[in-house]
């Protein structure tokens, strides 16, 4: 099939590369000329494991291309995915101005049938507005449109695996032609008719659920899913605070809870809280959606409040151990909001660094992938060559992102490099007893 992807951020670029990988011809469009120039030079503006190889191979084989010309992008395309940003406004609502602008241009430029698919995370009823906008700005009487919602469920750091081997594919449609086209589009994935280029998996047993709903239900599924996962994280962080008060270990509590199949162990990891561009934004947007409809979603407001309090909790722990923070040196391991990504948007690690700098702390940080982006947001951050340099001369060290490489470091060397061996394990990465036996002053989350 001929596909157009509008927007080359995390979602758009992964979607375009993966659709090309399963055999479609994909044109990715973005109005950011610098980003398109980078992509056409064979480089990537983001880090996502395995994505560089996917983009390179499919560009070379002619299935994937990049342009700033929307007319060129949608010309031959039957299906157009809208993957532009929907950042939060000051009141928490989603900014849909980029979506509206793209839809207007699609209406003006189209001269044949197009299936316009919401891939960006958008509030419920956005599909209705897209349909109305296409009708208003329709430039050619031969143009016909269907609108669909196809929410993405990609985790940064494992986005390719999630796209090619999903838990489910959800499509919200109003007409049978739209459903048929989307089934055809995803047929290689539904039939597992290829080998995953990342994990070399193919031929697993069992079908992938293909859930067909109305558009509004599909739009709600994404917000409801992310908000529920955020709720699990804030719940276990609240349990972690209780564990500290009574002398229990949240890691053991979470393990016991997770053995219940109704609960599961995923997203029961106490720590500095959730970040990234999805959970905080989608949580606030879901609260705003409910508010507009007359429902007070106080549960999610409390989830957000608990998450916001995690950085203050970490700073309190440091003050309890170090007394005065001003003029202290604190090392930070990890700046990305999670491992295996360079994304620092709404990163708890970056917020912690910012708060420490405001306290007069000299912050020395290391991250395998995210230092360049972090430096742009916090120019006063001292970015180090490796984790050992970040620990050198430090009065305390904070594990802020659970990169695998941190677990394998020589902690004896780390201890000798530090001025005072205080370790705040903000992600409960290490074995508490082993770390204490090495002579560290260990501070865990809920332990």
Provide the CA 43 distance to its chain's centre, in angstroms. Answer: 21
CB 162 within 8 A of CB 155: yes
Through-space distance between the first and last CA atoms of the chain, rounded to whole angstroms: 53
Is the distance from CB of 23 to CB of 193 less than 8 angstroms?
Answer: no
Give every strand in the sheet of 422-425, ordered side by side.
382-383, 362-366, 329-333, 396-399, 422-425, 441-443
Phi, psi (5° rounding) for residue 70?
A: -65, -35
| SS3 state at 212 | strand
Based on the residue annotation, tell me whether 278 is a catalytic residue of this protein: yes
**Cα 428 to chain centroid, rounded:** 21
CA torsion sign for 68, 71, 77, 82 is positive
Cβ neighbors of 408 (< 8 A, separation 6 or more) are none
CA 88, CA 94: separation in Å to the nearest integer? 5
Rounded Cα distance, 396 and 447, in Å: 18
Q: What is the CA radius of gyration of the chain?
A: 23
Q: What is the dihedral of CA 154, 157, 159, 164, to 10 degrees?
A: -130
Of the residues 278, 293, 383, 384, only one is catalytic, namely 278
- Buried b / exposed e along 341-357 (16+ C-beta atoms within 10 A): bbbbbbbbbbbbbbbbe
Handedness of CA 257, 260, 262, 267 (dihedral sign): positive
Catalytic amino acids? 278
């Amino acid at each position: 099939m001929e596909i157009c992807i509008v927007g080359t951020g995390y979602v758009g670029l992964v979607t375009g590369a993966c659709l090309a990988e399963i055999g479609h011809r994909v044109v990715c469009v973005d109005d950011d000329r610098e980003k398109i120039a980078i992509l056409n030079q064979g480089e990537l503006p983001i880090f996502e494991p395995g994505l560089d190889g996917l983009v390179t191979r499919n560009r070379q084989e002619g299935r994937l291309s990049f342009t700033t010309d929307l007319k060129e992008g949608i010309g031959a395309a039957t299906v157009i995915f809208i993957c532009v940003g929907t950042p939060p406004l000051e009141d928490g609502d989603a900014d849909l101005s980029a979506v509206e602008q793209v839809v207007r241009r699609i209406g003006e430029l189209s001269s044949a049938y197009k299936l316009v698919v919401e891939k960006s995370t958008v509030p419920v009823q956005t599909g209705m507005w897209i349909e109305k906008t296409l009708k208003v700005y329709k430039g050619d009487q031969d143009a016909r449109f269907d609108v669909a919602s196809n929410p993405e469920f990609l985790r940064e750091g494992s986005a390719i695996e999630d796209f090619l081997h999903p838990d489910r594919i959800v499509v919200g449609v109003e007409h049978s032609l739209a459903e048929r086209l989307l089934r055809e589009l995803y047929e290689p994935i539904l039939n597992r008719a290829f080998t995953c280029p990342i994990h070399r998996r193919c031929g697993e047993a069992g079908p992938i659920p293909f859930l067909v709903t109305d558009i509004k239900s599909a739009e709600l599924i994404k917000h409801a899913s992310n908000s529920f996962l955020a709720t699990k994280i804030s719940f276990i962080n609240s349990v972690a605070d209780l564990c500290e008060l009574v002398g229990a270990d949240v890691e053991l509590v979470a393990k016991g809870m997770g053995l219940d199949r109704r609960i599961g162990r995923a997203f029961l990891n106490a720590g500095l809280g959730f970040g990234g561009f999805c959970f905080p934004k989608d949580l606030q947007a879901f609260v705003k959606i409910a508010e507009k409809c007359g429902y007070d979603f106080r549960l999610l407001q409390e989830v957000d409040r608990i998450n916001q309090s995690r950085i203050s909790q970490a700073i309190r722990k440091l003050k309890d151990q170090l007394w005065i923070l001003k003029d202290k040196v604190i090392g930070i391991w990890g700046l990305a909001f999670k491992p295996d990504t360079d994304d620092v948007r709404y990163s708890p690690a970056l917020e912690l660094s910012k708060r420490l700098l405001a306290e007069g702390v000299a912050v020395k940080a290391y991250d395998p992938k995210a230092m360049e982006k972090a430096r742009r947001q916090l120019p006063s951050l001292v970015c180090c060559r490796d984790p050992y340099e970040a620990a050198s001369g430090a009065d305390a060290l904070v594990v802020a992102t659970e990169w695998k490489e941190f677990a394998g470091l020589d902690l004896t060397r780390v201890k000798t490099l530090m001025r005072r061996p205080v370790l705040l394990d903000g992600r409960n990465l290490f074995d508490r007893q082993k770390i204490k036996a090495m002579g560290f002053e260990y501070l865990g989350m809920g332990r």
